[in-house]
Chains A and B, each alone.
Chain A
Amino acid sequence: MTTATQTAAPDGRAKKGGRPGFFTLLVANRLAAFGLAVLVMLALTALLTPFLPLAPPDITNPANRLLRPLTDGHLLGTDELGRDLFSRLMWGTRVSIAVGLSATLVAAFVGSAIGLVAGYAGGRTDNVMMRGIDMLMAFPYILLALAIVAVLGPGLMNALYAIAVVNIPFFARNIRGVTLSLAHREFVDAARLSGKGHLRILLTEVLPNVLPVIVITMSTTVGWMILETAGLSFLGLGAQPPQADLGSMLGEGRKLLFTAPHVSIIPGLMIFALVMSINLVGDGIRDVLDPRLKSGALSRPAAATAVKRDNVPPMPVAPSEAALDVQDLRTEFRVGSDVYKAVSGVSFQLRERECLGLVGESGSGKSVTAMSLLGLVPTPPGRIAGGRVLYQNRDLLESSEADLRKMRGGAFAYIFQDPLSTLHPLFTVGDQVTEAIRAHQPLSYRDAWKRAVELLEMVRIPNAAERANAYPHELSGGMRQRIAIAMALANDAEILIADEPTTALDVTVQAQILKLMDALQDDKGAALLFITHDFGVVSEICDRVAVMYGGRIVETGPTDEVLNSPAHPYTRKLIDCVPVLGEPERRLDAISGLPPAVNRLPQGCAFADRCAYVEPACREGDVALEEQAQGRAVRCIKPLKAETPEAAQ
């Protein structure tokens, strides 16, 4: 679990800096705060009950039996023996909370002890203990408690033990898991080497790191334990008269359900309020202590990216000759008050039958550009904030979801990186290709399947008819990528968008896939937008190249020219990153520094901070993408000359 590592990590600085404290976060969660308020109120009244001016809870008064609520002197009425219900409720709540808490403490103590020892000792000890725990968990929860009560005999203390015992497995399992991951960490080894005994290591090194998990488990089980002890009392197996907890009040009142429902309804309401407030607080605590569940992280992406454009370039008067014309595209991610401008004003044209490479480091905005074209950027938090995507003189950013769907996989087809995660793990590959076909062609499943097998043959999958029945995890990475390509070719797309299709593959497979894509693109006459960070791959397959940095295109031109004489210092650096076979003396320069954070883009050139040739003018104003020669443009006030010596730095 991450909680433990987080506490162990020396990140005190980060904590002081931005992260608000545990309590602040808990209270910021409105529901948790509400639960906490209710809980504190209930706990306070329970604590103060002996000091409140209440009627004695156990004094019977047959003359006043079964008074309705709001009777004079009896706020909640009386029960069948004339006892004041309000007073009994207060005392009963006190007992229920006390019993629930005690059961939790007992279960937490014993369960954590088992978990700590099993996780720390490992091996056979662990095995034996956990098998025992598994056995306990093989029982339906309450049944085991019943069996224990059956043996010990009815009574509040026995009910407490029974509920504690059946909850021990939860603690043992959770704590063991965390302990296991800690048992061989450096600080534990260090303590062992320094000669500390096992018990001391467990108590001083391991326990403090496991504590958050114990707290989470307690907060999520205490509500249950109160509920279940009340349940046993309700069945007459817990508190015995005249002692009363909420459950036994409810159980006794049940006999009067038809004549005096308030006698049973009121204590039930109290149990409900108690358990609900504890659950609310428990959920809050878990959210705060368990960073994986941070809010917003689990937002569901909508079917298409939201489009809210502030500036829209005018529609061109003359129809564009290009297959795809992207104008001033802007895509942002809004997280809290931060705006990440992942793509800020990208324009390019993809001509028919050509291959355009979109090149840049991670975070340069190249993938987001590609995803934006057909609204595949997840919303929230993404949204398209400006620009046009023109295809056949229509702006795709204006099309309805239904139209977008026709384009997706129809005229446009995507090929993604890492086909293990991009293919559905639970459907056969043949089924997935068939589905792609049937999404756009009115074929029967059987005919579409035949067509799918043909496609698999086309991407040179051996034994295609048989392999079509395989699941993605049964195929190699290269095979999976071939499947993805087959899927993209299913409906004779005019425009293929390949997002790092070879990055997850090893080099030989990479070469095969590139060759295949090159051949198929020629064969089908499709235009290809090829996204990569690797100039080596670009040189293999692309006719033209556009280099992206900080969400903008910084250089564009025919691949050969850009490769031979890069004009932007960044392009030069990227090219220098590519190793060349047979030139071992060549320096492989990593680009120092990091790409700019796109929520705080600097003024002027975004690359200035990492550029060897930077001068004050670079940071002064926006640098325009200026055309240098036919088909070549660069966003730099001092572009490199063709002969710039490599020793410039």
Chain B
Amino acid sequence: MLAYFLKRIVLAVPVLWGLTVIVFLIMAMIPGDPATAILGSYATPENVERLNRQLGLDRTLPEQYFIWLGNLLQGDFGRSYSLNRPVLNEVLERFNATLILAGASLLLCTVFGLLAGIVSAVRQFGWTDRIVTFFVLIGISMPSFWLGLLLILVFAVNLQWLPPSGMYAVYGGGDLADLLTHLLLPAVTLAVVATGVIARLTRASMLEVLRQDYIRTARAKGLSERRVIYRHAFKAALVGVIPVIGIQAGFVLGGAVYIETVFQWPGIGRMLVQAISTRDLLLVQGGVLVVAASYVLFNLLADMAQHALDPRLKS
């Protein structure tokens, strides 16, 4: 088991490396000449050339890449010109907030998605199943940024139960309870689509498993229906669902861009949107790299969980 985990971790390295290549290539596609953009269109050719040399832009693309990668590995992600501080510091600070939001959402969508899927499969064609199926359909078709606005209107504006935005109250607050009240609406909003996807898949997976011969064996042993469903069927169904939970981590991390904008959550998604509008490309690049890397790690975790659960994968 340990050897396998180590192997998986080693295998994640080329993926991470690939991420840096893609990000670098995308950034290299920027139309126009960065030096001219920085110096303005009245710059003298000499000045442009000097700046190009300073920026390393007179070298070949592979050379530029490896210099850039070397800097990354030393923690030098460049300097954000709009914030006038190192990119890495800003990104890590923001990423913290995103991780709280995405983690809470991932927890919500996993718990509720699995529950809804199981209940729906067990009560197949019954009313519970229809209601779950209906909400799943609505959930996966819902623009999350719109749902967020609706929830703000209902729970923050009309009922005034929860704060409409931010991560902590401006005055006072700052404790865990304050964080949770601010977290609830955005986390739920972000979880809705993923919950629907997981519920759908769990239902299908459970139905598939419940028709297997080993379920008949479990019944023939005289096990209670609860044990048949929650021990025998669920464990087998979970093996198929876990990779999808890993994929949902990607949707949650990506969807955070909308939700953080709607709820003004000080996370990396909102930072990215602001950075794009101010054309602070180094900041965009740093943010994208960090989030993508964390997605790779999420998938790695899902893979390990699946492996721990299914002994057949060992051989």
Contact = CB atoms under 8 A, between A and B. Distances in A.
A223 B197 CA distance: 14
A280 to B, nearest CB: 7
B223 interface: yes
Given A138-B19, A150-B276, A298-B204, A231 B145 contact: yes
B124 A414 contact: no
A268 B275 contact: no
Interface in A563-611: none
A300 B296 contact: no
Contacts of B253: 140, 143
A272 B222 contact: no
B142 A272 contact: yes
Nearest to B261: A235
A180 to B, nearest CB: 21
Given A265-B150, A300-B122, A473-B312, A150 B22 contact: no
A427 B225 CA distance: 18
Main secondary structure of the interface of B (DSSP, over half): helix
Interface stretch (B53-61, B170-178, B287-295): B287-295
Interface in B113-151: 121-122, 124-125, 137-138, 140-143, 145-146, 149-150
Contacts of B272: 143, 146, 150
Interface stretch (B68-76, B88-96, B213-221): B213-221
A410 interface: yes
B214 A422 contact: yes
Nearest to B27: A151
B49 interface: no
A231 B258 contact: yes
Given A275-B141, A300-B211, A374-B220, 18 more contacts: A138-B19, A138-B292, A139-B22, A140-B251, A149-B276, A151-B281, A235-B257, A236-B273, A257-B153, A258-B157, A272-B146, A409-B220, A409-B221, A416-B220, A425-B310, A426-B310, A426-B312, A439-B221
A382 interface: no
Interface string B149-168: 11011000100000000000
Interface of B: 15, 18-19, 21-23, 26-27, 29-31, 121-122, 124-125, 137-138, 140-143, 145-146, 149-150, 152-153, 157, 204, 206-208, 210-225, 228, 232, 235-236, 239, 249-251, 253-255, 257-258, 261-262, 272-273, 275-277, 279, 281, 284-285, 288, 291-292, 295-296, 299, 309-312, 315
- Which 8 residue pairs of A and B lie closest in terms of their CB atoms, listed nearest first? A268-B146, A142-B254, A409-B222, A276-B141, A140-B254, A408-B222, A135-B18, A140-B250
Contacts of A269: 146
B216 A422 contact: yes
B40 to A, nearest CB: 18
Contacts, number: 228
Contacts of B206: 300
Contacts of B218: 424
A487 B141 contact: no
A276 to B, nearest CB: 4
Given A138-B19, A473-B312, A143 B292 contact: yes
A162 to B, nearest CB: 10
A436 B223 CA distance: 8
A131 B295 CA distance: 17
A531 interface: no
20 contacts: A135-B15, A135-B21, A138-B295, A141-B250, A143-B257, A143-B272, A146-B288, A147-B288, A151-B26, A235-B273, A236-B277, A237-B277, A271-B146, A275-B141, A279-B140, A407-B222, A409-B220, A422-B217, A425-B310, A436-B222
Nearest to B23: A147
A406 interface: yes
Contacts of B137: 276, 279-280
A146 B213 CA distance: 47
Nearest to A139: B292
B210 A300 contact: yes
Contacts of B284: 146-147, 150
Most A CB within 10 A of own CB, among B138, B204, B272: B272
Nearest to B141: A276
Most A CB within 10 A of own CB, among B143, B208, B275: B143
A135 B19 contact: yes
A422 B213 contact: yes
A427 B152 CA distance: 47
Interface of A: 131, 134-136, 138-144, 146-154, 223, 227, 230-231, 234-237, 250, 254, 257-258, 261, 264-265, 268-269, 271-272, 275-276, 279-280, 298-301, 303, 374, 376, 378, 401, 405-410, 413-414, 416, 418, 421-427, 435-436, 439-440, 471, 473-474, 484, 487
Nearest to A303: B225
B27 to A, nearest CB: 7
Given A143-B253, A298-B211, A425-B214, A279 B141 contact: yes
Nearest to A425: B312
A303 B214 CA distance: 14
A408 B143 contact: no
Contact of A272 (B141, B215, B276): B141
Contacts of A471: 311-312
B153 A148 contact: no
A301 B210 contact: yes
Contacts of B295: 138-140
A439 B276 contact: no
A473 to B, nearest CB: 5
Contact of A408 (B220, B249, B254, B276): B220
A300 B150 contact: no
Contacts of A416: 213, 216-217, 220
A462 B284 CA distance: 63
Contact of B217 (A148, A298, A424, A426): A424
A143 B291 contact: yes
A153 B249 CA distance: 27
Contacts of A146: 257, 272-273, 276, 284, 288
A326 B286 CA distance: 75
Contacts of B145: 231, 234, 250, 268
B151 to A, nearest CB: 11
Nearest to B292: A139
Nearest to B216: A376
Contacts of B152: 257
A272 B142 CA distance: 5
A279 to B, nearest CB: 5
Most A CB within 10 A of own CB, among B152, B219, B228, B236: B219
Contacts of B124: 299-300
